[in-house]
Amino acid sequence: METIAFFNLKGGVGKTTSAVNIAWHAANEGIPTLLWDLDPQGAASWLLDSKAKSKAQPKKILNGKTPIGNLVKPTNYQHLDIIPADFSIRDLEQQLQLQSEQGQRNLIAKLIEPFSENYALIILDCPPSFSLLSEQIFDTADALYLPLIPTHLSLRTFEQTRDFFKKNKLKPKRLHAFFTMVDRRRSLHRLMLAHPPKMLKNGLPTPIPYAAVVERMGDHQAPLPAFDRNAHVSKAYASLWQDIKATLSDF
């Protein structure tokens, strides 16, 4: 089983859009995939037309009394399941705090462990912040993918994440940036794509273009290939999935 995360300190850069489309591509290849929506905004859950089970009791799951599998829901797509954004993130953060004060090991890793029986790929859609949750995700994920709009400020947030990894002895090689919302009419975008900064040396080669059709995922509550497989941006996501696979040893 591989665990991957879409992360960026910056909000609104395409983490969720990417997580949902990549999850679709993995599942479409027959890879048993679980997307865990860890963002209280619940955008990934919404885009996959999924609501949390009302009877699930997150607190019992966090303290190990109920199996986390109870939170899993199927999606409209074969081989793709989801844990909708059901956890009150406050409960989760509180529990993480408590357990780490007691010197217990990474709770996120512990919660994910049992999924190895049923899934080959776990995809985490992260909220845009540094927190105990993100630290545990950094520690747990085999690889992290960071969508970057080609601007200087986005590069700075990438640098901050990379520096955090270095300072905390986490392997920065697991960080893979990729360009999103690329608008080739803009000279800075063209320049950065032609000459990617050195710090992006582990980056993924496929850029995701800016395209209005991406917004329509919200109208359809579906991943791009489910309603417009031939759009340029849909093909870019198919290619990005190939890039991601190349970074993972299991596939």
Ligand X SMILES: Nc1ncnc2c1ncn2[C@@H]1O[C@H](COP(=O)(O)OP(=O)(O)OP(=O)(O)O)[C@@H](O)[C@H]1O
In the bound state with ligand X, the residue whose beta carbon lies nearer, of 104 and 160, is 160
Which residues lie near Mg ion (CB under 5 A)?
A: 15-16, 43
Q: Which three-class secondary structure state does DSSP give residue 183?
A: coil
162 binds, among ligand X, Mg ion, none (CB under 5 to 8 A by kind): none
Closest CB 140 distance from ligand X, rounded Å: 19
In the bound state with Mg ion, the residue whose beta carbon lies nearer, of 16 and 134, is 16
Nearest residue relative to Mg ion (C-beta): 16
144 binds, among Mg ion, ligand X, none (CB under 5 to 8 A by kind): none
Q: Position 112: which residue type?
A: I
172 binds, among ligand X, Mg ion, none (CB under 5 to 8 A by kind): none
Closest CB 1 distance from ligand X, rounded Å: 24
12 binds, among Mg ion, ligand X, none (CB under 5 to 8 A by kind): ligand X
DSSP assignment of 47-107, as one string?
HTT----TT--HHHHHTTSS-GGGG-EE-SSTTEEEE-S-S-HHHHHHHHHHHHHTT---H
In the bound state with Mg ion, the residue whose beta carbon lies nearer, of 15 and 189, is 15
In the bound state with Mg ion, the residue whose beta carbon lies nearer, of 43 and 137, is 43
Q: Position 162: which residue type?
A: R
215 binds, among ligand X, Mg ion, none (CB under 5 to 8 A by kind): ligand X
Backbone dihedral angles phi then psi of residue 166, each to the nearest 5 degrees: -65, -45
Closest CB 119 distance from Mg ion, rounded Å: 21
Identify whether the C-beta of residue 133 lies closer than 8 Å to the C-beta of residue 97: no
85 binds, among ligand X, Mg ion, none (CB under 5 to 8 A by kind): none
Strands across the sheet with 121-125, in order?
73-74, 80-83, 33-37, 121-125, 2-6, 143-148, 175-179
Which residues face 33 on adjacent strands?
A: 80, 121
Closest CB 117 distance from ligand X, rounded Å: 29
Closest CB 178 distance from ligand X, rounded Å: 11
Closest CB 84 distance from ligand X, rounded Å: 15
Q: Whose CA is closest to 49, among 215, 212, 213, 217? A: 217
Which residues lie near ligand X (CB under 6 A)?
A: 11-17, 39, 41, 43, 128, 180-181, 208, 210-211, 214-215, 233
- CA pair distance 45, 75, nearest whole angstrom: 9
Q: Position 170: which residue type?
A: L
